């Protein structure tokens, strides 16, 4: 009798009701959930279950992440009306415009006709890497808004070679946790001096040793620890520059700088490039190609952002459509690990997304060039009251430690 009761109790303990089991797995990361698909056939079909996916998306958005604690947004806004070039910055403690506070610049910023661009869509230990453009000159600097420290990055040897035009393309700003070092990776390209350049420099054509000058592109990495640039003899996949070149298409996360690459050989072949800052190696992850009827591959635009609780996300959309398809990357270097998680829209009067925020929020540009924030949880849009034609949004976590 006692043995029979014990057996029944054991069966009860070993059995979990399906509803409870699904509630548990709905809170798992995408990668783990996919692995659990081998438990039973019904679990392999969970991503096709509308009811389950609704619960899963809600849990995914609501999931608290330790890196979100104490974070805010830094909004960079630039006015360019051909007469004046002016950049302003604002702190947003949340996605609400009433919490917007204009940031006072350091004296180094206060120059006329100057444009500032922030590398990466997030700060690292409270530090930002910024690119300062003025006329034909560009300078990089590390800046901590909380401590007001500002350090100019010195020029590299490539910049100092005479008789050629130096044009850098910054690919990433990251942190080497092994060496406690901040690094910048960029591609240096070179062009011939124009006639106007020679006049400006006071050079005659015969003064320039054209045959001795190399115009081949070079890669280089800056180390803050050594305060110097080093030539990097490796050909990385080149970052794709979108039509709106001021949009952020690179970011740092988990020891890696990421950017978007588009193949010159294959029209629709695009990849995520992930550069390991400590080991100075890169990995490419092919992006998915969707066959949805509403996504004609000839018109697809793609915007890569850090989105939804520290997950890498790909937003796909068509030029004339206001429906966004959002996929999450489960594992770098595995094309099949992209999982389409959200279909958002149609959204009225929305031109394009420009970046991701905390808790699944997306920053958008409206057709009237106003900046707005879309909440994936409530499916509501709030305008921030700022003209958004030239805007960057950066997730910022204050840090009072010196650079």
Whether the pLDDT of residue 111 is over 70: the answer is no
pLDDT tens digits for range 41-90: 777 778 778 888 888 888 887 766 655 666 788 887 777 666 666 777 88
Q: Can you give the pLDDT at residue 105?
A: 66
Q: Can you give the pLDDT at residue 185?
A: 94
Q: CB atoms < 10 A from the CB of 79, how many?
A: 13
Which pair of tokens denotes residue 182?
A: 């901040």
pLDDT tens digits for range 292-325: 544 444 456 666 666 677 788 888 876 666 788 8
361-373 in b/e form (b: 16+ CB < 10 A) is bbbbbbeeebbbb
Which pair of tokens denotes residue 159?
A: 């910049």
Is-contact 352 345, C-beta < 8 A? no
Average of per-residue pLDDT across 252-274: 79
Q: Can you give the pLDDT at residue 275?
A: 93
How large a percentage of the chain has pLDDT more than 90?
14
Nearest in space to 149 (alpha carbons), one of 182, 107, 183, 89? 107
Average of per-residue pLDDT across 232-260: 74
What lies within 8 Å, CB to CB, of 344 at 6+ separation is 323, 324, 325, 326, 362, 374, 376, 379
Is-contact 26 55, C-beta < 8 A? yes
Cα 200 vs. chain centroid, distance in angstroms? 38
Q: How far apart are CA 239 and CA 314, in angstroms?
A: 16
Fold of domain 70-153+238-397: Neuraminidase (2.120.10)
Q: Can you give the pLDDT at residue 294?
A: 43
Q: By mean pLDDT, which of 107-121, 248-262, 379-393 is the weakest?
A: 107-121
Any idea where the domains of the chain sit in the sequence? 2-62, 70-153+238-397
Mean pLDDT of the chain, nearest integer? 78
Q: Can you give the pLDDT at residue 297?
A: 47
């Amino acid at each position: 009798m006692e043995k029979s009761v014990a057996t029944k109790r054991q069966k009860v303990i070993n059995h979990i009701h399906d509803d409870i089991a699904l509630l548990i797995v709905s809170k798992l990361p995408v990668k783990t959930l996919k692995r659990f698909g081998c438990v039973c056939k019904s679990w392999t079909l969970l991503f096709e279950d509308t009811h389950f996916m609704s619960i899963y998306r809600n849990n995914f958005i609501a999931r608290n992440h330790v890196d979100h604690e104490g974070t805010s947004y830094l909004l960079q806004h630039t006015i360019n009306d051909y007469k004046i070039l002016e950049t302003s910055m604002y702190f947003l403690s949340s996605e609400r415009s009433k919490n917007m506070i204009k940031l006072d610049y350091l004296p180094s910023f206060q120059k006329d006709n100057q444009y500032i661009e922030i590398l990466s869509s997030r700060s690292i230990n409270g530090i930002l890497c910024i690119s300062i453009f003025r006329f034909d000159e560009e300078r990089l600097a590390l800046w901590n808004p909380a401590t007001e420290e500002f350090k100019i990055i010195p020029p590299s040897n490539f910049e100092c070679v005479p008789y050629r035009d130096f044009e850098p393309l910054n690919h990433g700003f990251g942190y080497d946790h092994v060496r406690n070092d901040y690094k910048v990776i960029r591609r240096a390209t070179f062009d011939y001096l124009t006639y106007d350049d020679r006049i400006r420099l006071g050079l005659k054509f015969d003064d320039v040793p054209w045959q001795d000058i190399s115009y081949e592109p070079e890669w280089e990495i800056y180390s803050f620890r050594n305060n110097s640039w080093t030539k990097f003899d490796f050909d990385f996949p080149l970052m794709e520059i979108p039509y709106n070149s001021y949009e952020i298409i690179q970011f740092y996360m988990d020891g890696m700088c990421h950017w978007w690459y588009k193949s010159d050989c294959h029209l629709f072949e695009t990849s995520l490039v992930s550069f390991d800052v400590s080991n100075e190696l890169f990995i490419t992850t092919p992006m998915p190609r969707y066959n949805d009827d509403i996504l004609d591959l000839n018109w697809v635009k793609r915007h890569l952002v850090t989105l939804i609780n520290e997950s890498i996300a790909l937003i796909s959309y068509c030029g004339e459509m206001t429906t966004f398809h959002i996929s999450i990357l489960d594992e770098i270097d595995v094309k099949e690990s992209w999982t389409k998680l959200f279909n958002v829209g149609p959204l009225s009067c929305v031109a394009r997304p420009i970046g991701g925020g905390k808790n699944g929020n997306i920053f958008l540009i409206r057709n009237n060039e106003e900046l707005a924030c879309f909440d994936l949880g409530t499916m509501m849009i709030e305008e921030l009251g700022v003209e958004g034609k030239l805007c960057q949004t950066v997730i910022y976590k204050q840090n009072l430690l010196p650079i």
